[in-house]
Structure 1
Amino acid sequence: MPRFSVIVPAYRVQAYLHECLDSVSGQSFKDFEIIVVDDGSPDACGAIADEYAGRDHRFSVVHLPENTGLGPARNAGIAEASGDYLIFLDGDDTLLPDALRTIADRIAATGCPDVLVYDYTRVYWSGRTVRNQLAQHLTETGPPSFRLADRPELLKVLMVVWNKAYRREFVEAEGFTFPPGYYEDTPWTYPVLMAAGSIAVLDAVCVGYRQRRRGNILSTTSRRHFDVFDQYDRVFAFIDERPGLAVWRPVMFRRMLDHFSTLFTSHGRLPPGTRAEFFRRARAHCVRYRTPGAPVPRRARLRHGLFRLGAHRTYRLLWAAQQLGGVLRLRTASLRHAVRGALLQLHYRVQLRLPVRPHDAVFAAYWNRGYACNPAAIEAKARELVPGLRTSWICRPEHAHTVPTATRRLHPGTFRYWTALARSKYLVNNVNFDRRLVKRRGQVLLQTHHGTPLKTMGTDLVDRPAAAGSTDFDQLLRNIDKWDYSLSANLHSTLVWERTYPSAYTTLEYGYPRNDVFHRTDPREVARVRETLSVPEDCTAILYAPTHRDYRRSQRQGLDLERLLQVLGPRFVVLARSHYLYSAPKAPAGRSPHPWIIDVSDHPSLEALCLASDALITDYSSLMFDYANLDRPLVIHLDDSQAYEAARGTYFDLQTFPPGVVARSQDELFDIFTTDHWRGSRSAQLRAAFRARFCPYDDGYAAERVVRRVFLGETAGLPVPVPLKERRPVGTLPRQSAVRAPSDPSRAATASPVGD
């Protein structure tokens, strides 16, 4: 007897069935059977199911002679099921990786309840995913299992069959079956939850609910939407047969009216000319099943009252008025936005006619995300060295807390913002300012960039549409023409910037100010940062910071961090830093975050994370050029080099000239750590050559060179770059237990310390 029977009805889903069945067969939990019900599908669903059954004994196929609908197809699957629990999965949906293991663990932890309710995410055709917005009702607080009366808010979660696991003996004892027709989930899910002796919840996404571009079958125009009346007849009949469930009658009455209202006002479901008939039948159900008692939100009271009165025309009139009101509100908001925008631009034009303020400077970074990168280092040094300088930082409100108190905060799109752009003498950014910026005579614009270019940039992207996306290259060139200075960290950057960003600016090959902290931070401050990150004192911290992929619409984590930690051992932690263009790495569905995987994606300072770590794993990220300044081990993980090169391209072959050991697969990376090659002599040799080429000016004085040249106008006497051999990048406080004990005792004497 398997633990789970996964029942998959299939009708006209041939384009999605492979993905659905693969998502089940590939589960890490193996104790299950899969019953595919070919519901008389005219396409290849039956053949696809037979193909899986032919090569995997866990698959069985039921071929129905004609299309019967989801309900009877699921009944046919139940008749063949032998598992402890029934799980239903539509043929165009998927189980997330590890979903069955997560469900099995939760069932065991909650005492094998009659029903386990789990979460889902909507998966759109574009690849975008959106988690269930009512997930808060699945929090695993309170008793492990309960009755519906203890947590009635569960009824607010989408009432479908496929977000639950059902104990088969409970289903058979109660005689639950699916009825024919549309909305077959309604007379199944409500009775199941009301009758269940024990319910448990799982606060984890287990199902990917596919959102087809043209919607599902319930979005089609058909008289079969009238089946909803028969389905609620079955719900109330179930309640009437069990007097103990009478307490749920008012709740079901209210939910029935909400359902009717949704159907009545949905565009494209009811055929033309049938709304009056639908309303009459809805009113008849109101009269038949009316049971006051359940609280009704204020906004729904009028709708319910009109249903009970049968006021069809009044309902439609109010509905039309509501729709019109929504349109008017949108148009009013749009008009208000346009008027405000026009006033802001008028204000800006007036400010452009007023004198430039010679002691004002405006800074920004990463499209107004917060105080960071080269502009932040320059701003701090400018306040220190330039007498009377007033600095402002452009950031969105949610990032205002990152800005020093001595610096004025400017929110984009405000009158103060446009005033500062019009009248400040100095404009500093690591990306471009608003395209509407008018560069005035007397203003100085410094472009600092935000990394040494490995990946293809600027006008070199013209022939790379996957990476360029919707880039307006004409606008890009207009932005470049506003630059007075372009900051460069090395000769390689200078050559790339001057070719890909062609204009008449002056290049300042001074190094990157953001890297000054690598030479000017006290080790005790590094220890404090590690403590705030909850890095144990005796652990080695590995920073994992991959870049984004232009050729993917949805990003995935390229490295199994939990497996990496199994390889590393108990005295290691991983600081996981996702790229700012996509979300942070998450634990597999249903699992708590690994205690030694610390998500640092929201940490305001990447430089602080570098200082707090003992080594870096990255791929094509320009972070490698900065991290090399610390002279700590780097490991490059390139498991998609062909795809990346084809889509984005690079300026040199990273595998030929890397800053450390290169892994071309996940298994190869694990071997590098198992054998300690990641911090061996070869790693040190590669890093030294890399530093010599790309870090000639990052000596702790880059910000001072920039400020003296741009803000003070000094061209002579700037700090001379410190030779590489004389630099002493900040270390970390000694940690006796930081080195992993080698698994092979014979290697114990040769294990090299962190940082070579």
Structure 2
Amino acid sequence: MPRFSVVVPVFKVQGFLRECLDSVLTQSFTDLELIGVDDHSPDGSGRILDEYAARDTRVRALHLPVNGGLGRARNAGVESARGDYLLFLDSDDSYLPGALAAIDRQLRACGDPDLLVFDHQRSYWWGKAEPSVFGDQLAGPGTRTFTVAERPELLTLFHVAWNKAYRRAFYRREGLGFEPGLYEDAPLSHEAMVCARSIGCLPRVCVDYRQRYQGAITRSPGREHFDIFPQYASLFAFVARRPELAAHRAVLFERMVSHLVFCLRRRDRVRPADRRAYFRQAARHYRAHRPPGFRPPPHAARDFGMLARRSYPLFAARERVRRTAGTVRRTKRRVRRTAGRAAYRGYYALQRRLPLRADLAVYSAYWGRGVACNPAAIADRARELAPQLHAVWIVRRDAVAALPPGTDYVVPHSRRYWWVLARATFFVNNVNFPDHLVKRPGQRHIMTHHGTPLKTMGLDQQPYPAAASMNFRDLLRRAGRWDFSVTANPHSAEVWDRVFPCPYEDLPAGYPRNDRLVTATSRDITAVRERLGIPRGRIALLYAPTMRDYRRGYVPRLDLERLSAGLGEEYVLLVRTHYYYGRDPALGELHARGLVRDMSRHPSTEDLCLAADALITDYSSVMFDYANLDRPIVVHAPDWDSYRDARGVYFDLLSGRPGETPGPVTRTEDELTAVFRDGTWRGPASRALRAAFRTRFCPYDDGHAAERVVRRTLLDQPPEALPPMIPLTDRHPAPPAEAPAPPPVIIETPHPTPTPGTPPTPEPLN
């Protein structure tokens, strides 16, 4: 029988769940079981629980047939628990290192009490963490234990389920359990406190209580917050059934009324339209449960008095006065900020009063750089599936000349630009639209993204130097406009869910731009190579490095002239620098000499991928797209440590583990040359790594991604009407153009860094 049973209820938390589970399973204290309860979650949370259960015998995954809410999920976990003590951990929170060992030590020091209360910290989405206000109060008792009768102030501690360890025998003896609905923590926490024969305290911060930007039900306004009334009714019914608890009614009543008023004042809980009804119900609870002779606490006497007198108009008037000062200050700032923009926004504001055009779709890619990437693939498919929609592209002035013939476009800040922003119904982009776009009711935003994340993104960038100048509040305001987020694999879905925590629909469609990679034929590839001027029989290598956040300007990580000479005549080296960088004179000079092909300004990355027999990259997301072709990938990572430390990464690309490393890894130019000269680049170890990488990151890219996006977002068809996913085993990537195998060359100098091999049996990856 384990010491602890940690119950984790799970619903729509795929972006946070791994961190939560890892925080339990990596504790130095290991005598535990973790019971994850999938409350019929519609995202990937249940799959993640099963993954952890498969690789750690301490984990059990329960899957509920219907969604029953947090309370019922916790109750289901308790029924399966076998530990001496029950602990509840919300699935977007986590334990701090050493927390369980500290809890166990204090339990033993206190003589294994019925209940142990421990401290927590609040962790905000912008990176700030602050301790609770209960530290001193928890530190006072030391290792002594008390009852609430002896220390009534114990009832003023935070009334949540997850800051306590409950002796399971005590929990079952008292018939404790969670009620359905919101605020389910309040009655159970108070019932446990008043019933416990011994309560210990631990001042150590054990739980990181995450304050999410969006998604927390307690900060989502609506009628659900009226659940607080039946919850407190159940608490007083519990006390009424036990005459020995009558002495605690006054403190419990004060706690209830303070909680009711707190929620009433919060705009993110009770909506203005519901405040009068909420106040009336709170007043009824006040009269129904007020103990005889109760005297309100001095600091809250006015609030208690208004509830006692059922005086909502007086309460509302006081609230208006309290909020007016803040509103005036905010209004002055807003007027100053918008005055200078009034001239060119007036037209935009006027157009926003007119009806939306249901036949108008706005597209943009890479901040107006042209017709490209996922938006281009969606627009192309929409011409066939939704011909009633007219496409208009937002394009920078310097990119107009390169537009495909017949493209309808607007230049930013032109008169027609403001017209299409105001009147269009659909907005498709692989980056965020500008801050000045005002999303109208009825407009629909589709975020396609433009890569699978290896480097940290969104809120996960906050600890890293590369994000020092980023405004994360603005970033989340932009993400808050999304209606759909198109994802290419479960890894991306989990990351976006956590780092852009906004109420959009995850659309696991695959990347539309990759449809071409999956459906291309040998004839298509031959045609692309001919257009690029790649001689028949030559092996084309695409070198596509990414940008460096910690360096300014393009800094080549390879001596391309030396690499070209080392590879020999049988290879053609195509070089594509990141689009952030301008033209590089040195690269242009090598191109002019015929040593490399500078493809940095070629309009189609997909063309280059189709033409290449292998990819050389460092940390660019092109590797995830290229894996769809099932062709060799070589990772050249001379500055991995610097890149990782400056930007942060989600997995160790150089580990050599299947699913993390897509092929051979090199750190020097000599190693890179040797990998191609001795055939390692396409050997059996390379194929094995590539297969695992493709399985993990290419499950959705089956050639129908654009169709799924068009049908779901532009035609509003339900998910079940979308084309079913074709399994990887049934896909047949187009082969590269025929090229003779280079003769084997014996390399006298061994590789300083061995090429990663295939470990025996890998554990499932996070």
Q: Distance in 2 between matches of 1:443 and 1:460?
A: 29
Q: Distance in 2 between matches of 1:340 and 1:408?
A: 30
Code of the aligned partner of 2:734? V
- Compared with structure 1, are the counterparts of its residues 591 and 448 closer, same or farther at alpha carbon in structure 2 (3 Å cutoff)? closer
Q: Map 1:726-737; keep pairs closer than 5 Å.
A: 726-735=730-739, 737=740
- Compared with structure 1, are the counterparts of its residues 591 and 493 closer, same or farther at alpha carbon in structure 2 (3 Å cutoff)? closer
TM-score by length of 1: 0.52
Q: 2:525 aligns to what?
A: 526
Q: 2:666 aligns to what?
A: 663
Q: Alignment partner of 2:586: what SS? A: coil
Q: 2:630 aligns to what?
A: 631
1:593, distance to aligned residue in structure 2 (A): 3.7
Code of the aligned partner of 1:724? L
Q: Distance in 1 between matches of 2:742 and 2:707?
A: 40
Check whether the contact 1:585–1:599 (CA below 8 A) recurs between aligned residues. Answer: no
Q: Alignment partner of 1:348: what SS? A: helix
Cα deviations by residue, 1:418-456 (Å, 9 ceiling, x for unpaired) = 111111000010101110110110000011110000001
- Compared with structure 1, are the counterparts of its residues 574 and 589 closer, same or farther at alpha carbon in structure 2 (3 Å cutoff)? closer
Q: Distance in 2 between matches of 1:592 and 1:396?
A: 28
Q: 1:429 aligns to what?
A: 429
Q: Distance in 1 between matches of 2:590 and 2:448?
A: 42
Cα deviations by residue, 1:355-414 (Å, 9 ceiling, x for unpaired) = 011111000000000111111101111111014111111112332344444541111111
Q: Distance in 1 between matches of 2:609 and 2:583?
A: 18
Q: Distance in 1 between matches of 2:340 and 2:404?
A: 30
Q: 2:686 aligns to what?
A: 683
- Greater Cα shift, 385-394 or 493-502: 385-394
Q: 2:705 aligns to what?
A: 702
Q: Distance in 1 between matches of 2:507 and 2:403?
A: 26
- Compared with structure 1, are the counterparts of its residues 404 and 582 closer, same or farther at alpha carbon in structure 2 (3 Å cutoff)? closer
Q: 2:441 aligns to what?
A: 441
Q: Alignment partner of 1:486: what SS? A: strand
1:344, distance to aligned residue in structure 2 (A): 2.6
Q: 2:742 aligns to what?
A: 740
Q: Distance in 1 between matches of 2:598 and 2:589?
A: 17
1:733, distance to aligned residue in structure 2 (A): 3.9
Q: Distance in 2 between matches of 1:589 and 1:424?
A: 42
Number of equivalenced pairs: 406
1:625, distance to aligned residue in structure 2 (A): 0.3
Check whether the contact 2:632–2:682 (CA below 8 A) recurs between aligned residues. Answer: yes
Cα deviations by residue, 1:302-329 (Å, 9 ceiling, x for unpaired) = xxxxxxxxxxxxxxxxxxxxxxxxxxxx
1:342, distance to aligned residue in structure 2 (A): 4.3
Q: 2:377 aligns to what?
A: 377
Could you list the runs of 5+ residues in structure 1 that have no partner in the other structure? 1-337, 747-756
- Compared with structure 1, are the counterparts of its residues 377 and 370 closer, same or farther at alpha carbon in structure 2 (3 Å cutoff)? same
Q: Distance in 2 between matches of 1:571 and 1:733?
A: 14
Code of the aligned partner of 2:723? P
Q: 1:541 aligns to what?
A: 540
1:731, distance to aligned residue in structure 2 (A): 2.7
- Compared with structure 1, are the counterparts of its residues 588 and 555 closer, same or farther at alpha carbon in structure 2 (3 Å cutoff)? closer
Q: Distance in 2 between matches of 1:667 and 1:379?
A: 44
Q: 2:484 aligns to what?
A: 485
1:620, distance to aligned residue in structure 2 (A): 0.6
Q: Distance in 2 between matches of 1:577 and 1:590?
A: 15
Cα deviations by residue, 1:660-683 (Å, 9 ceiling, x for unpaired) = 111122222222122210111111
Code of the aligned partner of 1:697? Y
Q: 1:296 aligns to what?
A: none
Could you list the runs of 5+ residues in structure 2 that have no partner in the other structure? 1-337, 749-766
Larger radius of gyration: 1
- Compared with structure 1, are the counterparts of its residues 458 and 414 closer, same or farther at alpha carbon in structure 2 (3 Å cutoff)? same
Q: 1:347 aligns to what?
A: 347
Q: Distance in 2 between matches of 1:589 and 1:604?
A: 17
Q: Distance in 1 between matches of 2:585 and 2:713?
A: 43
1:586, distance to aligned residue in structure 2 (A): 4.2
Check whether the contact 2:574–2:596 (CA below 8 A) recurs between aligned residues. Answer: yes
- Compared with structure 1, are the counterparts of its residues 487 and 591 closer, same or farther at alpha carbon in structure 2 (3 Å cutoff)? closer
Q: Alignment partner of 1:525: what SS? A: helix
Cα deviations by residue, 1:714-753 (Å, 9 ceiling, x for unpaired) = 1122111111111112234434x4x32334599xxxxxxx
Q: Distance in 1 between matches of 2:747 and 2:478?
A: 60
Check whether the contact 1:447–1:487 (CA below 8 A) recurs between aligned residues. Answer: yes
Check whether the contact 2:544–2:615 (CA below 8 A) recurs between aligned residues. Answer: yes
1:554, distance to aligned residue in structure 2 (A): 3.2
Q: Alignment partner of 2:661: what SS? A: coil
Code of the aligned partner of 2:735? G
Check whether the contact 2:587–2:598 (CA below 8 A) recurs between aligned residues. Answer: no
Q: Distance in 2 between matches of 1:373 and 1:394?
A: 14
Q: Distance in 2 between matches of 1:704 and 1:592?
A: 38
Q: Alignment partner of 2:367: what SS? A: coil
Cα deviations by residue, 1:107-148 (Å, 9 ceiling, x for unpaired) = xxxxxxxxxxxxxxxxxxxxxxxxxxxxxxxxxxxxxxxxxx
Q: 1:673 aligns to what?
A: 676
Q: Alignment partner of 1:425: what SS? A: strand
- Compared with structure 1, are the counterparts of its residues 708 and 462 closer, same or farther at alpha carbon in structure 2 (3 Å cutoff)? same
- Compared with structure 1, are the counterparts of its residues 341 and 563 closer, same or farther at alpha carbon in structure 2 (3 Å cutoff)? same
Q: Map 1:321-336; keep pairs closer than 5 Å.
A: none
Code of the aligned partner of 1:573? V
CA RMSD of aligned residues (A): 2.2
Q: Distance in 2 between matches of 1:606 and 1:401?
A: 19
Identity across matched positions, percent: 50
Q: 2:388 aligns to what?
A: 388
TM-score by length of 2: 0.51
Check whether the contact 2:613–2:737 (CA below 8 A) recurs between aligned residues. Answer: no
Check whether the contact 1:577–1:584 (CA below 8 A) recurs between aligned residues. Answer: no
Code of the aligned partner of 1:449? H
Check whether the contact 2:590–2:596 (CA below 8 A) recurs between aligned residues. Answer: no
Q: Distance in 2 between matches of 1:513 and 1:589?
A: 32
Code of the aligned partner of 2:635? I
Check whether the contact 1:576–1:585 (CA below 8 A) recurs between aligned residues. Answer: no
Q: Does 1:620 align with 2:623?
A: no
Q: 1:500 aligns to what?
A: 499
Q: Distance in 2 between matches of 1:505 and 1:588?
A: 42
Q: Distance in 2 between matches of 1:553 and 1:410?
A: 31
- Compared with structure 1, are the counterparts of its residues 458 and 589 closer, same or farther at alpha carbon in structure 2 (3 Å cutoff)? closer
Q: Distance in 2 between matches of 1:724 and 1:499?
A: 27
Code of the aligned partner of 1:503? C
Check whether the contact 2:540–2:613 (CA below 8 A) recurs between aligned residues. Answer: yes
- Compared with structure 1, are the counterparts of its residues 343 and 525 closer, same or farther at alpha carbon in structure 2 (3 Å cutoff)? farther
Code of the aligned partner of 1:580? Y
- Compared with structure 1, are the counterparts of its residues 591 and 386 closer, same or farther at alpha carbon in structure 2 (3 Å cutoff)? closer
| Among 718, 729, 733, the residue aligned to 1:725 | 729
Q: Distance in 1 between matches of 2:438 and 2:591?
A: 51
Q: Alignment partner of 1:516: what SS? A: helix
Q: 1:41 aligns to what?
A: none
Q: Distance in 2 between matches of 1:580 and 1:588?
A: 14
